[in-house]
Amino acid sequence: MLDRSSWTPKQIDLSRPNGARMYDYLLGGGCNTAADREMAKRLVALMPQVKETVRLNRSFLRRVVTFLVAQGVTQFLDIGAGIPSVGNVHQVAQALDPECRVVYVDNDPIAIAYAEPVLKDNKLAAAALADFRSPEQVLRAPAVRSLIDFDRPVAVLVLLMMHFVPDSDDPARLVGRYRDALAPGSYVAVSHPSFTGAHGELLADAEAVGEIVQDAMEPLHLRGADDLLRILAGFEPVPPGVVHLPLWRPDSTADVGRHPERSLVYGVVAAKP
């Protein structure tokens, strides 16, 4: 647990919950604070589905990376990556192809401070402190320039992060800047919360969770499938397109369940022609 470890950056307010650290806690990680744990427990108590959504997103990540490596992609830029936990991108990708290169990008200094010792013995994986909303900062980060060759296909992963980017920041323009930097044959993968398909008690619980997160952290910006397609203009979604997480290339029909829409998160992978 953090709670002001000696290496924790002094400018970070550990009394305020942080999305990346809460996600780490829900995955069973140890890079989180009392504030993160308290908030995560509060959300789970209100809506147990929160834990299942985190699990489904991690499973989506695994399936996406497996698919992309099978397409010949060996370079991954994970933006808004949070804290590397068990089953993260470099572990999945390098198990399939040891030559895969991975750079984790996050704007949280704690996530980067934790990632660096985790990755220090991995010559093909690194972490960079940068913000998705500043594409030039991301694309020119030393770790990115060192490991990623933009003349070859790259997979850009933006998982459970873009809902913190308001429409006023023009996410389509931001994604377009990354698209322009990528070689043909590159991909982008997005998972994004949406209340589409939620009704009754599930919708009420989800809205209550959203209000708590907004009050304690930062505003959420939920989007539907059409919104995501607009944001990804210039990319071509691969089948099955924009779907709720359990429906994106499941390993078996048993993994889909009776109500995949209850994940409350869309997933999509799209290719640059």
103-113 pLDDT per residue, tens: 999 998 878 88
- Please tell me the predicted confidence (pLDDT) of residue 222: 87
pLDDT band at 217 (very low <50, low <70, confident <90, very high): low
- Tell me the C-alpha to C-alpha distance, in Å, between residue 126 and each of 98, 104, 112, 208: 15, 6, 9, 37
DSSP label at residue 130: -
- Please tell me the predicted confidence (pLDDT) of residue 210: 65
- Full DSSP string of 62-98: HHHHHHHHHTT--EEEEET--S--TT-HHHHHHHH-T
Torsion angle, alpha carbons of 198, 202, 206, 208, to 10: 130
| Residue found by looking up tokens 């290496």 in the block | 7
**pLDDT tens digits for 242-265?**
999 999 999 988 778 777 777 789
The pLDDT > 70 percentage for the chain reads: 86
pLDDT band at 216 (very low <50, low <70, confident <90, very high): low
| Residue found by looking up tokens 């006023």 in the block | 168
Mean confidence (pLDDT) of the chain: 87
Token pair for 138: 């991301």
- Please tell me the predicted confidence (pLDDT) of residue 199: 54
**pLDDT tens digits for 28-68?**
877 788 888 988 898 888 777 788 888 899 999 999 999 99
Say if CB 65 and CB 100 are below 8 A apart. Answer: no
**How many other CB atoms sit within 10 Å of the CB of residue 167?**
11
Predicted TM-score of the model (pTM): 0.88
The tally of CA atoms less than 13 A away on the side-chain side of residue 115 is: 29
Token pair for 243: 């779907």
Tell how far CA 251 is from the center of its chain. 20
H runs (alpha helix) in 120-199: 135-139, 142-147, 171-181
What is the rounded CA–CA span in Å between residue 198 and residue 209? Answer: 13
- Please tell me the predicted confidence (pLDDT) of residue 202: 59
What is the rounded CA–CA span in Å between residue 49 and residue 39? Answer: 15
Q: Does 12 have pLDDT greater than 70?
A: no
